[in-house]
Structure 1
Amino acid sequence: MNKIFLRKDFLKETAITEKTLHEFETNNLLKPAGITEDKTSFYTKGSVEQVVMLKSLMDLGYALPEIQKIVKKIGLPTNSIIQQEEKKMEQFITISSLAEQVGVSPRTIKHWEEKGIIESELRSAGGFRLYSQIYVYMCKLIKDLQLFNYSLEEIKTISDYFRDFLLISKDLNHYSQNETEERLESMNSAILQLFSKMNLLKEGISRWESLLKTKQKEIKGIKTKNTKRKKAKSKTKDE
């Protein structure tokens, strides 16, 4: 899980003041690594590295305008691995936003995370969780599995299969040849089992659709008869 820092945490981590951070940002020397859907800025380890370099230049006696020229000309040296990771940064959503889009409570999302079914991609030192948009789709899949009568333990197993699949897809040598074969067979078996449950569900849905359509027609017919009965009573009273 990537570690992030909200503004307050970032100030504490870098030991700079709000005024200094504001100056860095207004002079385009530093910017947040990303923002959440509700416009909350967050920073990363790469951001901390940038501040360390900026503070070093200031300690050497460089003023902000001079640092601007240096950054514009040669940039700031940073850890290349961290830099590559941060290029992948996108707009993240909060747990409240994720829950709202999926149609569950934030408590449910936390429960799924506690069970190891999902993992927040970013978390601040204070426990602030952030998720990428793909988690909206993933959580809807979890709801689907619950409709198929899967327990959370069974859903956790399927979630582990997905993680294994991603690991094997990225690096075929992650497991031994035999272990890879065994894991792929287990995944395929789980897929076949899910197909079987889905077919049963489809058959059940088809039965209920047929029944409900029939009952709708019957209800419509009874309503028509009931309306005629009311009119007949009204006519009798008039006579």
Structure 2
Amino acid sequence: MKDNIYTRDEFLNKIKASEAELAQWEEKKLVKFIGFTDDRTPFYAENAIRQVQQIRKLQELGYPLDDIQKIIKKVGLPQQASDKNKPQVKPYLTVGNLAERVNISPRTVKHWESLGIIEPDMRSEGGFRLYSEMWVPLCLLIKDLQLFGYALEQIKVMADSYREFLALQLNLESFTKQQTQQKLEKKQAELEELIAKINELKDGIQRWEELLRKKKKELLSLKNQNQKRNIQGETHESGDDAL
């Protein structure tokens, strides 16, 4: 989990402000929320707390909100170096959003998280979670692995391996050359093993496809035979009635 977020109630409690005061700042676009929970409650990023602190300092100096708004439009609020280096806020998914995108239940998302298979990118003090878009294809892959017969414990091992590989990609210099080589060789072996299993599955799927196509033809043939038998039976019955 990388960043803290706050639901509206958590944010109000953190900044010791009233609902009316926050509404005023938002109306003047001095403070902005970054998204909504599943029940449409706004949530806020960590830097919004520092924005409030700066707004209050300007208010203490005697500036009305209209003047503070003009100041922000011209020069902006002071930022910490960590804020400047952060990328722009990207769209994030709530538990419900992620579940809907992957066609699973929110309970399944929470279960996978409890096992450490997936992890939220942001979490509030009250347990509200947000996930980046990257989890959508990964959750679809998890579903695939379950269809392939993998247990969640096995998928957890693979998820840990994937995260370790991402860490290598993002910051190769944080590992020694020898450490990197060992990790890469291990990843290659894991990859080759998975490819071999998938090839076995492909062969199995092909066998089943051929069998099912054959049985489908046989089924249609039997249906036709049965239909003809019914017609012949009706013809015989009509002949008997005539006699």
- TM tier relative to shorter chain: over 0.9
In the alignment, which residue of structure 1 is the partner of 2:220? 220
Q: State how 1:1-239 maps to structure 2 within 5 Å.
A: 1=1, 2-35=3-36, 39-85=40-86, 87-239=87-239
Deviates more, 1:71-80 or 1:1-10: 71-80
Instruction: Note if contact 1:167-1:174 (Cα within 8 Å) is conserved in structure 2.
Output: no
Summarize the Cα distance change of 1:81–1:34 in structure 2 as closer, same or farther, 3 Å threshold. Answer: farther
The whole-number CA distance in structure 2 between the counterparts of 1:203 and 1:3 is 47
Give the secondary-structure state (helix, strand or coil) at the position aligned to 2:104: coil
Q: Secondary structure at the match of 1:89?
A: coil
Structure 1 range deviating more: 37-46 or 157-166: 37-46
Aligned counterparts of 1:22 and 1:39: Cα–Cα separation in 2: 16
Q: Relative to structure 1, is the Cα distance of residues 34 and 79 closer, same or farther in structure 2, using a 3 angstrom cutoff?
A: farther
Aligned mates of 2:153, 2:16 — CA distance in 1:
44
Question: SS at 1:93's partner residue?
Answer: coil
**Aligned partners of 2:148 and 2:90: how far apart in 1?**
33
**TM superposition shift of 1:101:** 2.1
Distance in 1 (CA, whole Å) between partners of 2:159 and 2:127 is 23
Give me the TM-score of the superposition, normalised by structure 2: 0.92
- Give the TM-score normalised by structure 1: 0.94
- In structure 2, the gaps of 5 or more residues are none
Q: In structure 2, what is the Cα distance between the partners aligned to 1:191 and 1:223?
A: 47
**Superposition deviation, residue 39 in structure 1:** 4.5
Tell me if the contact between 1:5 and 1:44 (Cα under 8 Å) persists in the aligned partners.
yes
One-letter amino acid of the counterpart of residue 196, structure 2: S
Distance in 2, Cα, partners of 1:200 & 1:56: 66
What count of residue pairs does the alignment treat as equivalent?
A: 238
Query: After superposition, what is the alpha-carbon deviation per residue over 1:153-211, rounded to whole angstroms, capped at 9, x for unaligned?
Result: 22222212222222211222212221111111111111101111101101110111001
- Give 3-state SS (helix, strand or coil) of 1:16's partner: coil
The alpha-carbon deviation at position 151 of structure 1 amounts to 2.2
Decide whether the 8 Å contact of 2:38 with 2:96 is kept in 1.
Answer: no
Q: AA paired with 1:113? A: E
Distance (whole Å) between structure 1 residues aligned to residue 39 and residue 192 of structure 2: 41
SS of the aligned residue for 2:77 comes to: coil
Q: CA separation of 1:83/1:19 partners in 2, compared to 1, >3 Å: closer, same or farther?
A: farther
Residue identity over aligned pairs, in percent, reads 42
Alignment-mate amino acid for residue 7 of structure 2: L
- What is the identity, as a one-letter code, of the residue corresponding to 1:65? D
Unaligned runs of 5+ in 1: none
